[in-house]
Amino acid sequence: MSVVTMLVVPALFLGLLALLLPLLVGTGERDLAWISGTVEVPAGEAEVYRRYLDRHRRHRLVGGLFGGALAVVVGIRFQDRVQLIGAGDGTPLGDVFFCVVMGVIVGALLAETYRLGRARGTAASASLAPREPIGVPGVVRAARIVSGAGLAWGLVTVVVWGGAGAGSAVTAVVGLLPVVIAEATRAAVTHRRRPVETERALRVDGRIRAFAGRTTSWLQLSAATLVTTWVVAVTPLREGSVAEGLLIVPVLAGLVASVVVLRRASPRPPRRWRPAPLAEAA
């Protein structure tokens, strides 16, 4: 095992813990101030935000645990071993790291099936105002480019290596599924019904939509990065060749990047974030 691998693999596990452990903690006042954009959040609005964030945490945690369990079962049943981190070695469904990260991503996307409940006194009708697409354009564009690069790489491996490159191509095609789900989720949130009765209800809805757009954008990029990393990793290079040795660096970099990007989609504020009044006081 190379020195780079010995350093990066423990870091990846620490990254997984950093992703999962915060999901065990409930929503606090700081979280509410972050998503609402104000320190003073009325009780009714705070409850909407709290249920929304708690839902995200539950789905992400369950998704990550389910992914890890799936990897263990597939590994024992089909590979006779439990593979913790082994990009390019066996099936990604038997890799704990891949399945945990992808489980968190899919769980977060499923959490967006949430529909903003009607606040008291609001009507059941929907606003007819124009709806701008949500999300972070630069991040979405990067995710699409990374997914396209992974798909192109997979197709090239088939052309160059024939049947030996089928694993790379299949991984690229199947790996488009979470990316497509992210695109569909963002579109669904954009066109989701909005309350029309009160300005406060519209503000809450707008804050939740903004969070949904931001988080699905980063989730899409994380999924695209993870899948493309696996596509590159399963390239059928000659064992022991210089090319195979050089491939370790971009593969490890891709695995690290997938976790770093996924943290940007966290349902918690960044560690350095402080509510505006507290920041001014400091």
Residue 124 lies in a domain: no
If one counts the domains in the chain, the total is 1
pLDDT at 125: 46
Measured CA distances, 2 to 9, 11, 53 (Å): 11, 15, 41
User: Residue 223 and residue 181: Cα distance in Å, rounded?
Assistant: 10
pLDDT for 282: 37
Structural domain span for residue 188? 3-118+132-274
- The answer to whether residue 61 is domain-embedded is yes
Task: Count how many Cα atoms sit within 13 Å of the Cα of residue 101 in the half-sphere of its side chain.
Answer: 36
- Tell me the C-alpha distance between 181 and 111, whole Å: 12
Residue 281 lies in a domain: no
The residues of the chain scoring below 70 in pLDDT are 1-9, 114-132, 194-197, 240, 242, 244, 276-282
pTM of the entire predicted model: 0.86
Residue 279 within any structural domain of the chain: no
Within-domain flag for 280: no
Q: Say if 127 falls within a structural domain.
A: no
Tens of pLDDT, residues 16-32? 777 777 788 888 999 99
DSSP one-letter string for 84-151: SS-TTSS-GGGBHHHHHHHHHHHHHHHHTT---PPPTT--S----S--PPPS-HHHHHHHHHHHHHHH
